[in-house]
Structure 1
Amino acid sequence: MASPNPKPQLLVSDPDKSLLPKLHFFYSKGASNPDVVKIIASCPVILKRSLENQIIPSFNFFKDFFQSEEMTMATVKRFSRVLIVNPHICVESNINALQESGVPKSNIAALLSLQPRAFMVRPNHFREILEEVKKMGFDPSKTRFPTAVQAMTGMSKSTWERKIDAYKRWGWSEEDIWLAFTKSPWCMIYSEDKIMATMDFFVNKMGRESSLIANRPFLIGLSLEKRIIPRYSVVQVLLSKGLIDKDISLVVLFESTEKMFLEKFVNGYKEEAPQLLNLYQEKVNLSG
């Protein structure tokens, strides 16, 4: 039996013919050394594909759609497998399906650039998802429509069901879940760990009803470390001094801009609680 070759095929092939032209191509499109390393590491087979017959035609397909080499390279860096598939099989068909549904090109481009793998779904299945999203009441002209499509194409049925179960553990009904999804499709894109940790904080730490979060699902996507915990540390001080009501709106607390929060809850109580700014900044700095 022949012993296995310890050298990968790429290393024993002629680098001047198979490797360097591809590296030069990526550099010519604005990729940095770290970018090229990332592209190849995430999809090593790209170096085995023909530059002239596969990589360049695929790159040009995306460039023609985006009308931007910069956006095309950003897409390649996010999901370099777009350069090893024939874009006319799935990607083009799925772009056409979105356009036929009335999705603006700018929204299609945003989805394609940020989540190119969503377009790798079989065209028939992709169209089924579009019809399902329409039946849920999503307006194709709004940005939530492609986000809902992203959510439904980006995970397996079992993963989808696990996230449904995660919300049910917090007392959400099927109706609550679908209401939350129609308001913010991102609530089904977040990881199970993210869902559980954020719900735990609002329900067990803050003592809020989980149904309140179903009505404001955007809250689930906020960073615990960078926004929720630092702001809640300020709230705890204000509550301990009786300066605010314990049932203060979560929207006001967490969805307001940084400037609005500081003006209302920190600078507004300088005399009563002068330590608030330092406390808040300390918590924010701890989040990294």
Structure 2
Amino acid sequence: MLCLRRSILAHLLSFPAATPVPPLHRLLSAAAPRISPNPSFVVEEYLVQNCGLTRAKATKASLKLSHLKSPAKPDAVLAFLAGLGLSSADVAAVVARDPQFLCAKVEKTLAPVVTGLTGVGLSHNEIALLVSGIPEKFRCRSIVSNLPYFLSLLGSFENVLRVIKQGSYLLYCDLENVVKPNVALLQECGLDDSEIAKLCLSLKRLLVAKLEHVRAMVACAEGIGVPRGSRMFRIALHAVAFLSEEKIAAKVNYLKKTFRWSDAEVRNAVCKVPVLLALSMDTLQRKSVFLISEMGLEPKYVAQRPGIITYSLEGRLRPRHYAVKFLKENGLLKRDSGYSAVVKLTEKAFMEKFICPHKEAVPHLSGYYAAACRGEVPTVCGTTKC
């Protein structure tokens, strides 16, 4: 019987978006008579055998399904999910996350949502991804009305899915009174839709924040010296997102003290690289110790090139310093490249310029550098004769 229902639903879901979807209840009624309560029906066993849940997950999920007396509704829902193309593993994940999904009315709730989503251009594969990503919200028809706006704003279904997996509130929030005013303010600041989309992907609750909070973010970004319309404004907004003026002032003072910068230098550094405000104090402290105390760079040099602070200490700053220092000590560098220029190179470019040319002279150099990248203190003979 379940196989028959699945084949019927698969046929139903194969209709193109422009084709009217036949009333699902007629198909289900034709497939089987109404099932009366089954005294032998055990929810936990059904979840294990039909939904693929482990015994532990089935026991937990069954607590929310104790009212089920027959497999009628769950069978219909499983057929619906199969018709959308969800795998057994996907079905198990959906049921484990939202056991009450098995109680949804296919013909009155789920099928109309599918019809609405296909109507705004989603494929059945994309709809299946929505079910897997937000099963507890898929049962709300309101997701259909908000989706077209966010598809347009965020640029792709993939971006929408990334955002709503972190917070499905976007699909039922107030567009007119909350989201659109926030978007309008960001546009007034010179951000286009692609920049707003990037901001939303990293600040999931930005669009549903109170307008006064977004205005405060804008004021803070301008307050650290980044003007509206500049290419750094989006990054500045991200750096100061939901931070109070007091916390920003405290971070600025910490930067000034830790890197031994003047007021002018710290303002210049933060304006150039606003993300400095988002780094933890521990991270800033460790990088200050390495760059200024261990490497001996002048505070002024770092202030003029604050981007180097944003690179990984273990993955880039320290390993490249070790490698270049070794080459210098052995007379293998024809000219001295500034440390900032060395750090900015891509990994491929760094290997081609500083590691590969010296394979014959120093066969162990690549291993030396690889060890440093793994966080090890590399040990290698200090001469090219090794």
TM-score of the aligned structures, taking structure 1 as reference length: 0.75
The equivalent of 2:64 in structure 1 is 11
The equivalent of 1:44 in structure 2 is none
- Whether 1:275 and 2:364 are equivalent positions in the alignment is yes
- The answer to whether the 8 A contact 1:134-1:140 is kept is yes
The equivalent of 1:109 in structure 2 is 197
Which residue identity is paired with 1:114? S
- The answer to whether the 8 A contact 1:63-1:72 is kept is yes
Matches of 1:140 and 1:111, distance apart in 2: 15
The equivalent of 2:18 in structure 1 is none
Matches of 2:291 and 2:181, distance apart in 1: 43
- The answer to whether the 8 A contact 1:107-1:143 is kept is no
Aligned residue among 268, 291, 294 for 1:205? 294
- Whether 1:31 and 2:84 are equivalent positions in the alignment is no
CA displacement 1:120-167 (0-9 Å, x = unmatched): 442134234435534655354443111111222243445434422331
Matches of 2:170 and 2:261, distance apart in 1: 38
Aligned residue among 188, 212, 221 for 1:133? 221
CA displacement 1:30-58 (0-9 Å, x = unmatched): 5389x73xx68xxxxxx4897123x4444
Between the aligned residues of both structures, percent identity stands at: 26
Q: Choose between structure 1 and 2 for higher RCO, CA contacts under 8 A separated by at least 6 residues.
A: 1
Listed as ranges, the matches of 1:160-179 within 5 Å are 160-170=248-258, 171-179=260-268
> How many aligned positions are there?
271
The CA RMSD measured in Å over matched residues stands at 3.8
- The answer to whether the 8 A contact 1:198-1:220 is kept is yes
Against the structure 1 CA distance between its residues 56 and 172, is the aligned structure 2 distance closer, same or farther, given a 3 Å change threshold?
A: farther
CA displacement 1:235-283 (0-9 Å, x = unmatched): 2322432545998512122111223322332234345433211211233
Which residue identity is paired with 2:330? K
The equivalent of 2:349 in structure 1 is 260
Q: CA offset at residue 234 of structure 1?
A: 0.7
Aligned residue among 122, 145, 155 for 2:243? 155
Q: Which runs of 5+ in 1 are unaligned?
A: 1-6, 41-46
The equivalent of 1:183 in structure 2 is 272
- The answer to whether the 8 A contact 1:49-1:84 is kept is no
Q: Computing the radius of gyration over CA atoms, which structure comes out larger, 1 or 2? A: 2
Partner of 2:291, secondary structure, is helix
- The answer to whether the 8 A contact 2:213-2:242 is kept is no
Partner of 1:201, secondary structure, is helix
- The answer to whether the 8 A contact 2:272-2:306 is kept is yes
Matches of 1:165 and 1:186, distance apart in 2: 15
Of 61-70 and 194-203, deviating more is 61-70
Partner of 1:169, secondary structure, is helix
Which residue identity is paired with 1:153? A
Against the structure 1 CA distance between its residues 285 and 134, is the aligned structure 2 distance closer, same or farther, given a 3 Å change threshold?
A: closer
Of 78-87 and 221-230, deviating more is 78-87
Aligned residue among 329, 341, 354 for 1:240? 329
Against the structure 1 CA distance between its residues 64 and 114, is the aligned structure 2 distance closer, same or farther, given a 3 Å change threshold?
A: same
TM-score of the aligned structures, taking structure 2 as reference length: 0.58
The equivalent of 1:4 in structure 2 is none
- The answer to whether the 8 A contact 2:224-2:270 is kept is no
Q: Which runs of 5+ in 2 are unaligned?
A: 1-59, 68-99, 118-123, 377-386
- The answer to whether the 8 A contact 2:220-2:240 is kept is no
Matches of 2:308 and 2:105, distance apart in 1: 47
- The answer to whether the 8 A contact 1:30-1:70 is kept is no
Matches of 1:62 and 1:247, distance apart in 2: 50
Which residue identity is paired with 1:76? I
Q: CA offset at residue 212 of structure 1?
A: 1.9
Which residue identity is paired with 1:31? L
- The answer to whether the 8 A contact 1:187-1:221 is kept is yes
